[in-house]
Amino acid sequence: MPVIVHFWAPWCGLCRLIDPLLDQLEQSLPHRLQILRINADENFALSRHFQLTSLPTLLFFDRGELVQRFDPALVKGDFRQALQQLLAHSFPSLLPAESHRS
């Protein structure tokens, strides 16, 4: 099962904005996608292991392998659209065909 790891912190405003979108995504793909939320402040060793430079950071894993990193703070424009494009690229089998057409 593909996994998205969401590194966040309580003080991070953008993290709180992203959370409802991730909840919606997880609910729309039950038993097909798992989202793990990790408080970066409480898991410093793990944050350092993945060399986080900003929060939030999303890590996309497929079959235990890191396939993509996503730093929403660097997104210019619509975050939701950027996330859809990244999902279509990283996990094309999860989304309906019209979601990842060029």
Strands (E), the chain: 3-8, 34-39, 57-62, 65-70
More confident residue, 74 or 17: 17
Is 15 an annotated catalytic residue?
yes
Output the pLDDT for position 72.
76
Mean pLDDT of the chain: 84
Q: Which of 12, 22, 33, 55 is catalytic?
A: 12
Residue 2: asked if its preceding bond is cis (omega within 30°), the reply is no
Q: Which of 4, 5, 15, 58 is catalytic?
A: 15
Residue 87: what residue type?
L
36, β-bridge pairs: 5
Q: What are the tens digits of pLDDT across the range 17-57?
A: 888 888 888 888 888 889 999 999 999 999 999 999 899 99
DSSP helix/strand/coil, 16: helix
Is 24 an annotated catalytic residue?
no
